[in-house]
Amino acid sequence: MIYPEGHDYFPLEIPVHEPLDWDMKKILQVHEYFRRNLDTIIPNLPKDSDYKLLSFTGLGGGKYPIIGIFPRTGKFKTDPKHSDFFNYFDAAENYIAQVGLESLLERSKDLPTPKWSDLENGMMYPD
């Protein structure tokens, strides 16, 4: 699926990019593990949402993978001051600290993941 222009979603960054030295294969593995287990890891996420891996363009113009939270019905504000952005990020960070990055890499090593080049070019996973 090509990213739908103007579609309302909430970007969730899993803070592993720098600790994994920007190794996109490993970053995508961990993101996919989070995507599949997000309701358990962060139980207060908006209900009735789909979770997709996608490319996000940061303030400096660089692209990196995130998890997009897409509500199936209705819309919600993506502005951090109107959301639980910091709580979600903190929950992800706490989970990584509790479980350990090496353990996450081990748990996620056999999960199918998209190619970074596909996400970077607008694909979402799963489509």
Q: What is the mean pLDDT of the segment spanning 4-18?
A: 79
Does residue 53 sit in helix, strand or coil? Answer: strand
**7 Cβ partners below 8 Å, 6+ apart?**
70
What pLDDT digit, counting tens, does each position of 79-110 carry? 444 456 678 888 999 999 999 999 999 999 99
What pLDDT digit, counting tens, does each position of 16-57 carry? 999 999 999 999 999 999 999 999 998 878 778 899 999 998
Q: Is the pLDDT of residue 2 over 70?
A: no
Q: What is the dihedral of CA 76, 82, 85, 87, to 10 degrees?
A: -120
* 69/85: higher pLDDT: 69
CB 28 within 8 A of CB 116: yes
- Give the C-alpha separation, 74 to 47, whole Å: 11
- Give the C-alpha separation, 91 to 59, whole Å: 23
Q: Is the pLDDT of residue 4 over 70?
A: no
For the chain, percent of residues with pLDDT exceeding 70: 84
Residue-level pLDDT at 47: 74
Q: Is the pLDDT of residue 118 over 50?
A: yes
